Structure 1
Amino acid sequence: MTSGRRGLAPRKQPRQVRAELTRQRILDAAAHIFEEYGYAAGTTNRIAERARVSIGSLYQYYPNKDAILVELVTRHLEAGEASVARYLAEGLPESLEGILRVFVRAAVENHVADPQLLRVMAEEAPRAPELLAKVNAYEEERVRYGRELLERHPEVRVTDTEAAARLLVTTVELVVHKICSAPVPLETGRLEDELVAMLHRYLTGGAAVSRGAGSG
């Protein structure tokens, strides 16, 4: 992939409703184009045509398709944060199983809509320093929060909570992404149940959990 030297920041920050709607239309069109054609064939001309804007208008907002993909990755991260925040606002369950289910479900919900686009974002997104810094900051915040949860929950039996938190965050992200973007994905309820059971056994030393608790 290209580096961040070509310029990945949006050129124009919309200040009016119409401009913001145009930007969103470009991003939505790009998501469909990358999902349909892949990143290499997902040209800015195709994106502009799908968004019903001129190529000149597109370049007023984004200097190249790398910048558009970076913005889509950022939007994906922000959607994940918002999903977790909604669950936290409702209050976490008391049981460790319930807590794990909340975070696994939030991850699944953030991955099921556009699996092909997620594959493009994970495998073909520009490895720009600013994007990597944003992803790393997002992961570090989740690790910090996970470590605090593990340290104070009475069901947890692992002693190295720093390592456990990193394994927890990484496992949820990678497993959910890999399975949701697979050609034949696992049904989301089964994915949630099995992943929660696996993580619960690791954190508690083998205690069983109920299946399908609170599954939608």
Structure 2
Amino acid sequence: MRKRPTQARSKVTVDAIIEAAARILSDHGWTGFTTNKVAEAAGVSIGSYYQYFPDKHALVDAIRERHLEDCRTVLKRVLERTLPLQEFIEELVDGIIAIHSIHPGLHRVLLDEAPVAEAFRNPNSVFEIEYLDCYRAIVAKYRSGKNGIDNQTAGIVLSDAIDGIVHNAARRGTLQTFDVRNGLVRIVQSYLSAA
């Protein structure tokens, strides 16, 4: 971002821009994504848009950042509670699916069409470390058997399994089906329960 909003009004403006951009990307793809369309959909002037975002690539980065933060929030929220395994798994899966269902076409565009900044490819980024640490904590808290795999590795496997299924289902438009949801619950249950 060109500058971070500090006042409540400017935060509302930035939120409106990011939300409008996510909606346009979801509905029209990368080729239909322009700064003018975003400003108009957000109800702001193009000057206000450029006050915060130098170009549409910076805006896509902001959408990705927000999405990653939403995912981390889901993980932290379910980890804070002490739930029976089945209830925990259902809350985790439902939370992750809900975050990816806000704009159904968005993830296909972010994964397959929009350019990706190097910062989002870094496997040692602060986000990636914190994100995988949440999965390590899930495994440490809920896995009943070790299977010869340490918690860090098991957390990575669990993260990759959930991310892969959710992202591919989002690409295919099947993310909100009961079969995908229930299948993912069974996979996580099986992985965490394996002795």
* TM-score, with structure 1 as normaliser: 0.76
CA distance in structure 1 between the aligned counterparts of 2:143 and 2:118, rounded to whole angstroms: 39
Aligned-pair distance for 1:156? Answer: 2.0
Superimposed CA distance per residue, residues 58-106 of structure 1 (whole angstroms, 9 cap, x where no aligned partner) = 11110000000100111111111222232233x13243x4443333222
Paired letter, 1:14:
P
Paired letter, 1:147:
R
Describe the SS at the equivalent of 2:29: helix
Describe the SS at the equivalent of 1:13: coil
Q: 8 Å contact 2:143–2:193 — kept in the other structure?
A: no
Q: 8 Å contact 1:92–1:98 — kept in the other structure?
A: no
CA distance in structure 2 between the aligned counterparts of 1:148 and 1:183, rounded to whole angstroms: 30
Match for residue 169 of structure 2? 179
Match for residue 111 of structure 2? 122
**Inter-CA distance 154–29: structure 2 relative to 1 (3 Å threshold):** closer
**Inter-CA distance 135–126: structure 2 relative to 1 (3 Å threshold):** farther
Matches for 1:154-169 after TM superposition, within 5 Å: 155-161=144-150, 162-169=152-159
In the alignment, does 2:17 pair up with 1:26? Answer: yes
Match for residue 106 of structure 1? 95
Q: Which runs of 5+ in 2 are unaligned?
A: none
Larger helix share, 1 or 2: 2
2:59 alignment partner, one of 58, 68, 92: 68
Paired-residue identity, %: 29
RMSD: 2.6
In the alignment, does 2:92 pair up with 1:82? Answer: no
Match for residue 46 of structure 1? 37
Describe the SS at the equivalent of 1:105: helix
Describe the SS at the equivalent of 1:20: helix
Superimposed CA distance per residue, residues 139-176 of structure 1 (whole angstroms, 9 cap, x where no aligned partner) = 33333343344356562242113432211101101201
Q: 8 Å contact 2:166–2:175 — kept in the other structure?
A: no
**Inter-CA distance 36–160: structure 2 relative to 1 (3 Å threshold):** same
Superimposed CA distance per residue, residues 90-123 of structure 1 (whole angstroms, 9 cap, x where no aligned partner) = x13243x444333322211211121201221222
In the alignment, does 2:187 pair up with 1:198? Answer: yes
CA distance in structure 2 between the aligned counterparts of 1:16 and 1:136, rounded to whole angstroms: 28
Based on CA coordinates, which of the two structures has the bigger radius of gyration?
Answer: 1
**Inter-CA distance 135–52: structure 2 relative to 1 (3 Å threshold):** farther
Aligned-pair distance for 1:136? Answer: 4.5
Match for residue 83 of structure 2? 93
**Inter-CA distance 72–148: structure 2 relative to 1 (3 Å threshold):** closer
Q: Which runs of 5+ in 1 are unaligned?
A: 1-9, 207-216
CA distance in structure 1 between the aligned counterparts of 2:192 and 2:78, rounded to whole angstroms: 22
2:127 alignment partner, one of 138, 143, 162: 138
**Inter-CA distance 87–14: structure 2 relative to 1 (3 Å threshold):** same
Paired letter, 1:41:
G
